[in-house]
Chain A
Amino acid sequence: MVVVVSNFGKKLAATGLVLGLFSAGLAWYIGGYLMVTPDSVASAATSAPATSELTLQTVAGLGDAYSQPTWVAYLVKDAHGVWRQSTNFTVPANSTVRVTVLQYDGASGLRNPFLARPEGVVGNTIEVDGKAVQAIDPALASHTFAIPGMHLVVPLEGVADDAPDQCEAAPCGLEKAHRTITFSFHTGSRGRFRWQCFVPCAAGFIHGFGGPMQTIGYMDGFLDVV
């Protein structure tokens, strides 16, 4: 079956062009949406052996310096001391991670009060503003830092509603009303874990669990143990 095609090269080029445009569109579709995820920030090494530090803050809303929408979010301090909007963290395997959370948001309350008790952290206690605590009032929880795959839950108490000088938008400085929560946990073997907030803090969404609660970069992220 031999078919003589006139202007074969021209037609082939046209087909190639169409396919190329289609592929470019596809690449744009993938690159523009599917691949978007915040860069991972590594925990900072400390002088103690096999111990690293991670410093986070939680804010009621993001400022202009960060990507939209301006939902409630976690921020992380990177190696240069800059607050970055990322919820992907990298920590070393078989080590202790010391986490400090500067909590600037008000309370929403937990739907399941059980999660107001810290679990899976060193000593089963956390420090809230320097005071050791075994459980908080579930109604005062603003967020949690939880890694269900490690059975780790840390409730974060909210700033009092009547506290002066509340921070409206990130990044928030230490002069604003906040609570400081510190805790440590041991990482096991390597793996990729997810972490999330359990407090229904997504204002305006049904059950408080839409938007930021279901978007990586706000109230959810990955913990890469490497």
Chain B
Amino acid sequence: MTIAAMPRRTSPLLRRLVGFNLITAVVLGAIGYYLGWWLGHQVSVAATDHYADTNQNDVALFLAYGLAVVGFLTGLGFLNYPVSRMLGRPASVAAKDEADGWKRYVSLCTDHKVVGLQYLIGIGFFLLVGGVNAMLIRVELLRPTPNIWPAGQYLTLVGLHGSMMMGMMTSGILGPFANYVVPLMIGARRMAFPRIEALTFWLLMAAGVILTSAVFYGGFPTGWTGYEPLADQANMGMDSYIVFFALVGLSMTLLGFNMLATVFSMRAPGMGWGRLPIFVWSVVATSALNVLAAPVLVTTLTMVALDRTLQTTFFLSSSGGSPFLYENLFWVFGHPEVYILAIPGFGIVLELLPVFARKPLWGYRLAVSGMVGVALLSFFVWQHHLFMSGLNANLRPFYMLSTELISLPTGFTFLCAMGTVWRGRIRYDVPMLFCLGWVFNFFIGGLSGVFLSDVPSDTTTHGSFFTMAHFHYTIMGGLIFTFFAAIYYWLPKMAGVQLNQRLGKVHFWLMFVSFNSTFAPLFVIGALGQPRRVVSYPKDLQFLNQWVSVSAFVLGISMVVFLANFVWSLVFARIPADPNPWHSSSLEWQVPTPVPVHNFDRIPVITAELYPYGAETTAPAAEPLTVGS
């Protein structure tokens, strides 16, 4: 309290640097790291004495990472509130008002709007790192033999790219956009657990740095799946992967609980389940998956960590364990996880199509049941990743059926999209272009998935570049396209400035064309027999691989176009955005820009149907809409 009251602006620089902020966090994180490293080298028991031979001490690295994260969070001030409560001080939600200006964005802040923007920049940065890794991979594949990165470093690049994207981007939509707009959409003043909301973000940032640090510990050879027993043989970089995914899993679980609690308990009066915006429904479905699937990942990785440090043998077949156990556990998490990446995309497309086609969402209940259906079914399909493994081979007809059944609820999303554009008045603004891009990409992704769900066909496509092309169509073509749709759509509200629309269109067309030019040939390359994660491939596939690499570089350039637009619009041009540039009727557009700290002076009462577009009525969805000051 006293610190908050101190006149900061006039105090000397040094005084201002001391306190609970990012600098303290980094310093305490470094101290924690070295403390853990030192502690790890003091521990010597029979089970760990092989470190003399291996030249690596996994216990030390796990302790170092663990204490670094604790130090980092302490430095940010995450312990202040629990400690002050334990000391008997009164409860307070004042944290979000304390800091001022830009400092809120680089410190622990519990305002959901600040956290949303923190997520956008933080995840955007790691998306860029993952993208650079992809570029480095494609540089290597210009030639059929290893020429730039040696084989081990190539595998590390593949693992870093895959893990960064599959881990970090699980919160790609929920982090920036759900955190920002869900409270606004449901008429709430904040998230249910604002401190946990902030915690999910800072955990993810720590995780990203830890994964990137894998290169300093020899990297890891397993790709993002971390299969055993290869993971057990690997260098210490594997520990970076384990800690990264464990932190991501923790963050996902907390994020899911927070979203569910918020939507369940903080909706404005009149907003029944039948009036929940479809994007919020997608967040609910995704959060349920987060809560149910991510803990499995954390548990599994704990078992891997025990195998690597205390020499347990959960996954070693020669000592009573089973690599199948790892494959099962990983995909029990892993398959719901890919829908954690996909469902928010469904939500964004169905949320935006009505705005830009000027029509109500067509088949609202069908759309909801589609998302919930996908979420439910996603727990019953995981062994299609193991069709060739020999595990439970006689159950394959069941998994074939369940996998193909999941195309039914996915198809609902397509039908609703088709119904929504029917006799609409489609405006081709940039967000709409990205939504239509999603329609095409995800459709191709879905169709190619049928080949993978069918065992006879999967015999060739499994584990090949075909699979790789398939999930890039669904995740990059699905999630990343809707990620950009969401940026172009919501940034005017989030940042208060308009992005340049012309550059946005250049970005879209460059990205759409180069994306398809990159990944469509990969179906062919896979069908011609190139397995995933290879540093060397047959010479007759060189032309196609070069085509893909060049297209991938253009795809990279399209990201530079976006970055240029982002920096130009936000830093230099700063054209104030209209409070409701898309003429949306959704609640988040009815509040002023910038959004007041507490969102609504009076909580709105929802009295009308959702999506009141169309010729007959143009009434807004909520009354009274006397919001703002």
Please list the residues of chain A having a beta carbon within 8 angstroms of any beta carbon in chain B. Answer: 1, 3, 5, 8, 11, 15, 26, 29-30, 32-37, 68-71, 191-192, 194, 202-207, 209-211, 213-216, 220, 222
Contacts and interface: CB of A to CB of B under 8 A. Distances in A.
Contacts of A36: 150, 153
Contact of B145 (A26, A71, A192, A205): A192
B235 interface: yes
Nearest to A12: B572
A8 B572 contact: yes
Interface residues of B, number: 35
A34 B216 CA distance: 10
Interface of B: 50-56, 132, 136, 145-146, 148-153, 157, 215-216, 218-219, 221, 229, 232-235, 316, 318, 567, 571-573, 575
Contact of A206 (B145, B148, B229, B573): B229
A3 B573 contact: yes
B467 to A, nearest CB: 24
Given A34-B215, A211-B54, A215-B218, A3 B572 contact: yes
A34 B146 CA distance: 13
B215 A215 contact: no
B157 A34 contact: yes
A192 B146 contact: yes
- Listed residue (A3, A8, A34) with the most chain B CB atoms within 10 angstroms of its CB: A34
Contacts of A11: 571-572
Contacts of B148: 35
A25 B256 CA distance: 34
A196 to B, nearest CB: 10
Given A33-B216, A210-B232, 20 more contacts: A8-B572, A33-B215, A34-B157, A68-B55, A69-B56, A71-B55, A192-B146, A202-B54, A202-B233, A203-B54, A204-B54, A206-B316, A210-B54, A210-B235, A211-B54, A211-B56, A214-B221, A214-B233, A215-B152, A215-B235
Which of A71, A202, A206 has most B Cβ within 10 Å? Answer: A206
Nearest to A14: B571
Contacts of A207: 229, 233, 318
Nearest to A29: B215
A37 B233 contact: no
B570 to A, nearest CB: 12
25 contacts: A1-B575, A3-B572, A5-B573, A15-B571, A26-B132, A35-B148, A36-B150, A36-B153, A37-B150, A191-B145, A204-B50, A204-B51, A204-B52, A204-B53, A206-B232, A206-B316, A207-B318, A210-B233, A210-B234, A211-B235, A214-B233, A215-B218, A215-B235, A216-B150, A222-B150
Given A26-B132, A204-B50, A214-B152, A69 B233 contact: no
Contact of A34 (B50, B55, B136, B316): B136
Contacts of B52: 204
B153 A34 contact: yes
Nearest to B51: A204
A35 B157 CA distance: 12
A30 B221 contact: no
A5 B567 CA distance: 13
Contacts of B575: 1, 3
Contact of B55 (A15, A70, A214): A70
Nearest to B221: A214
Contact of B567 (A1, A15, A26, A202): A15
A69 B136 contact: no
A214 B218 CA distance: 10
Contacts of A32: 215
A210 B146 CA distance: 21
Contacts of A1: 575
Contacts of B235: 210-211, 214-215
Contact of B54 (A37, A68, A205): A205
What are the 8 A-B residue pairs with the smallest beta carbon separation, nearest first? A204-B53, A69-B55, A210-B233, A203-B53, A204-B54, A204-B50, A206-B232, A192-B145
A109 to B, nearest CB: 15
A24 B218 CA distance: 21
A56 B324 CA distance: 40
B219 to A, nearest CB: 8
Given A34-B149, A207-B233, A5 B55 contact: no
Contacts of A214: 152, 221, 233-235
A5 B109 CA distance: 31
Contacts of B229: 206-207
A206 B146 CA distance: 27
A151 B215 CA distance: 33
A5 B572 contact: yes
A26 B215 CA distance: 12
A219 B30 CA distance: 35
A71 B153 CA distance: 18
A205 B233 contact: yes
A208 B257 CA distance: 43
Nearest to B145: A192
A224 to B, nearest CB: 9
Given A203-B54, A211-B54, A35 B149 contact: yes
A33 B54 contact: no
A170 B569 CA distance: 60
Contacts of B572: 3, 5, 8, 11
A18 B438 CA distance: 33
Nearest to B149: A34
B153 A33 contact: yes
A203 B49 CA distance: 12
A207 B152 CA distance: 18
Contacts of A203: 50, 53-54
A37 B152 CA distance: 10
A191 B147 CA distance: 12
Contacts of A202: 54, 233
A206 B233 CA distance: 5
Nearest to A191: B145
Nearest to A30: B136
B237 to A, nearest CB: 10
A37 B148 CA distance: 10
Contacts of B50: 203-204
A208 B316 CA distance: 13
A154 B400 CA distance: 46
A213 B229 CA distance: 15
Contacts of B215: 29, 32-34
Contacts of A3: 572-573, 575
A28 B579 CA distance: 44
Nearest to A8: B572
A203 B56 CA distance: 12
A3 B500 CA distance: 12
Nearest to B125: A22
Contacts of A220: 151
Contacts of B318: 207
Nearest to A194: B151
A2 B148 CA distance: 45
A216 B149 contact: no
Contact of A216 (B152, B233, B567): B152
A83 to B, nearest CB: 20
A37 B571 CA distance: 42
Q: Which of B51, B52, B55, B219 has the most CB of A within 10 A?
A: B55
Contacts of A15: 567, 571
Contacts of A211: 54-56, 235
Contacts of A29: 215
Contacts of B53: 203-204
B132 to A, nearest CB: 7
A193 to B, nearest CB: 9
A15 B566 CA distance: 13
A225 to B, nearest CB: 11
